[in-house]
Structure 1
Amino acid sequence: MSKGLADILKDYLPKDKTFDILHLQNSPVEVRPIVTVEAQDNTDNDLSDVTIKILHFFSLAYNKKFVFGMEIHVYIILKKAENISNIDYSTADRLLFVSKADTNGYCDVKFSAKQITKGLIRYLFSINPSHYLKKVIPLERKYPKSNLHKLITKETKLDDALHILAERCNESSTTKEMRYQSTLSEPYYNSYKTPSDITSKLCLFTRPADQYLFAESSKNPKKHTLSGAGLLKWWLSIIDELLCELFMEDSIGKLRIPGEEPLTIRRYLKTTKFKNWMVGDIFGGTANSLAIFSIPLFSDDPKSRFLHELVEENRVLTTNLSTFWMELQERQEFKLSETVSVIGISGHTIIPNFLNVTNKDTMITLSKKEYKYIKNYITGEEYNSEEGALESYENVTNYLAYKFNTELLSVIGGMTPRVKTQRVVETQPVVSILQPRKKAKT
């Protein structure tokens, strides 16, 4: 029997403690390439590669309070096989970009944010890629001309839209059912076959902050925050464990700290267990390669913001990777005397059986607007007091019950706490050939 989200997370939560988990996912949508494609002479810039983006948002609750949150963007990049006239996506990249992760300090029991973070990333790597490829919203929908007069789109005039709605109201139930079945059969979505060779990647940018998802949570004295170096070590430990447990031996892990010498970066890598860690990044290119054709454009990412500034300054076609990383460290976000880094891994996973996502595990929203609306119930609250955690939980549960007639997924933890054993040091009498010095008699 295939495992679900609860089956995976229970091994990362305290034993016999019941948690609730909200898992939001938007509908897979085709987007522009995340890395700018260099135009070739006398050729079309469309290389027939397809990039599909999916948003995932997780929020963990205990005792009717949301206490942890994380958002991850998943990209499926289908690559056209070379020297083949027909479009055949035989290979693909599955890239996980960790956008934000945060706690607020209002949990009534001790749990490991590190372990739950690791468990959620493991869950996303375990999802069958076909889950994302069955029904993809295309960049541009091509509606059949025969049905254009029956559809209401952004271009439809108000009078025409009212006329179409009036006709639908006058239709019989049989006609409405026939029209509904016809609509389902129309190619309003794209569907892709799952490639046999998929390279799994993960990328994240570490930067210390008072809060990432829970506004004003830094005012809670119970919230635990990390320094830049501490946050880097925290994430590096998680990614290293995932490499050891989920990836093949020939996979790679890379670490880049803008402004630091390779010798300093290697000191952080001394604590890792996976053997293929090295200094650098997984984006490719050489020192003289243009940064615009190597650095991916992620949402709310300092690297992406810097690339946009280079475009505004008309320097994007003259800035190579060496200059890009050198100038990046001079940006305001890097001048806080805190360590920031870019961590990436790439390789093939060794997961024996992919899991299939169910409605019980995941709430798939019909639109990005609905995804943001539900997420805002959590991220839109203020967490300077415990009331924010309580109100966000109440608002989400009420909305799910009223709108979707569903509830949060409950997970009973099964992780046994580690017992720290104290090392007993036996004391031995000190043997010395020196004679003790006696006090002289007076």
Structure 2
Amino acid sequence: MASLESVLRECLPKDEQFELLNLQNIPMETKPLVTSLSSNNDSDRNSKTIKVPHFFALAHNKKFVYGIEIHVYLILSSTNGAGTYDKVERLLFVSKADTNGYCDVKFSAKQVTKGLIHYLMTLDPVTYLRHVIPLERKYTLHDKKTLLTRSTSLTDALEILSQRTKLTHKPESSALQSDRYFLSFSPTGPVTTKLCIFTRPADQYLFADSAKNPRKHTLSGAGLLKWWVSIVDEVICEDFTPDSDARLRIPGEDDLTVRRFLRGTKFAKWTPGDIFGGEANSLAVFSIPLFSDDPKSRFLHELVEENMIMKTNLNQFWIELQERQEFKLSETVSVIGISGLNSKAPSGIPLPKEVVRTDSKKYFKYVKNYITGEEYDTSEGAEESYRNTVQYLSLKYNSELLQISGKRASHSGVKENAPVVRAVTMLQPRKKVKTTK
């Protein structure tokens, strides 16, 4: 398996020095992505869903210039009823991506994006499954008297802290690091991999106010769709077996229009539609996955509030989705998905220097916010976010950004290395507020 550094240096311009933050939250058990048709508890016991968020941020000349957030979901299933998980599905959901236009050299956002997706696909899922926070921890009576948990009352918390101050010996750095508070899995069988992207154009997503930078290059809805299709097309050709599935859905458009966006693709099996399954007249709630902060998921929640969730089939879902308020001002939105087996079985293990792991959602968001919480109307935001992030990583994690020296030669006449990169995402843009500590 190639290291993260070796993958990205082939994507970045020759002899240029870049730095990368690969921020990963601790794997956490979560509720199933898709509502089950059966209310039988056996289906829940025979399946586990694990979520692992990744946030990548690329820096050049001490400025952050590119970012992408990808959530990795692992769905473990037991088909033999023996208590072992013999079926593994890995789903990569591209949550959001963006650039700010402050890079001092030309580089290809397309190649970097493809490289990061490729790297995640090479990782052995088992590396995520050795230390997983359960959906619900079961505490003993002794635990409740000595540990601070979400259910600890203020009175009990003060008592626990008071008792700790009386200890004559230094307590464990974190009692909750004991293996008995975590889940561990060793699944068997081949890994089916899926990649899902929801595209919708906007001026900015990760880098607030970066649209005010005249050097930033944004794409129309159609342009953004073509950009992503070109990336996914290369990914499936290079990383998947030939019998894999590739689909494109444009809500509100017929198959003929969809196929126009697939002209020139190298993979022969692109078809209109999506990888979520289900018949046109089947209920959408039993097919559409509930990703975090995703327009499709928000629509499902609205259907619940409107008491329409058990009356809306897949055909109606896609037709009505385009009428939602957040799509009315957009040119073109799409759902891109691929599914299949990797051409090479994922077996990679991240090197310690390649990743910064946080142990809670709180600290994952905290580190990420050093980058997304800045204002990028000028280059000072990119510089300040870099300084704050580097300092915090050093103090909190005794870590630093991954150093990468580019090796990709420029091609005369080819403008893939634009001086600014594209605002690419699937989410509703919003201004983020920087937190302080």
Q: TM-score, normalised by structure 2?
A: 0.90
Secondary structure of 1:391's partner? Answer: helix
Look at both structures and tell me which one has the larger radius of gyration over its CA atoms.
1
TM alignment of 1:32-431, pairs within 5 A: 32-40=31-39, 46-81=44-79, 84-173=80-169, 185-336=178-329, 338-351=331-344, 354-420=347-413
CA separation in 2, counterparts of 1:205 and 1:341? 6
RMSD: 2.0
The one-letter amino acid paired with 1:104 is N
The one-letter amino acid paired with 1:153 is T
CA separation in 2, counterparts of 1:199 and 1:417? 35
CA deviation string 1:233-254 (max 9, x = no partner): 1000000000110000000100
Change in CA separation of 1:98 and 1:186 when aligned onto 2, cut-off 3 Å: closer
CA deviation string 1:334-389 (max 9, x = no partner): 32251111000000002356221133111110110000011111111111111111
Percentage of identical aligned residues: 58
Unaligned runs of 5+ in 1: 422-442
Q: Does 1:27 align with 2:26?
A: yes
Q: Residue in 2 aligned with 1:438?
A: none
CA deviation string 1:70-112 (max 9, x = no partner): 001110000121xx33322101110000011111000000000
CA separation in 2, counterparts of 1:372 and 1:154? 18
Q: Residue in 2 aligned with 1:426?
A: none
CA separation in 2, counterparts of 1:334 and 1:221? 25
Q: Residue in 2 aligned with 1:10?
A: 9
Deviation at 1:3, TM superposition (A): 2.9
CA separation in 1, counterparts of 2:291 and 2:155? 41
Deviation at 1:162, TM superposition (A): 4.0
Q: How many residues align structurally?
A: 414
CA deviation string 1:233-289 (max 9, x = no partner): 100000000011000000010000111110111111121101111110000000011
Secondary structure of 1:60's partner? Answer: strand
CA separation in 1, counterparts of 2:159 and 2:42? 42
CA separation in 2, counterparts of 1:301 and 1:159? 39
Q: Residue in 1 aligned with 2:419?
A: none
CA deviation string 1:288-347 (max 9, x = no partner): 110000000112211111111111110100100011111112222332251111000000
The one-letter amino acid paired with 2:230 is S
Q: TM-score, normalised by structure 1?
A: 0.89
The one-letter amino acid paired with 2:10 is D
CA separation in 2, counterparts of 1:288 and 1:336? 29
Change in CA separation of 1:233 and 1:157 when aligned onto 2, cut-off 3 Å: closer
Change in CA separation of 1:5 and 1:159 when aligned onto 2, cut-off 3 Å: same
Deviation at 1:407, TM superposition (A): 1.4
Secondary structure of 1:416's partner? Answer: coil
Deviation at 1:38, TM superposition (A): 1.8
Higher relative contact order (CA 8 A, sep 6+): 2
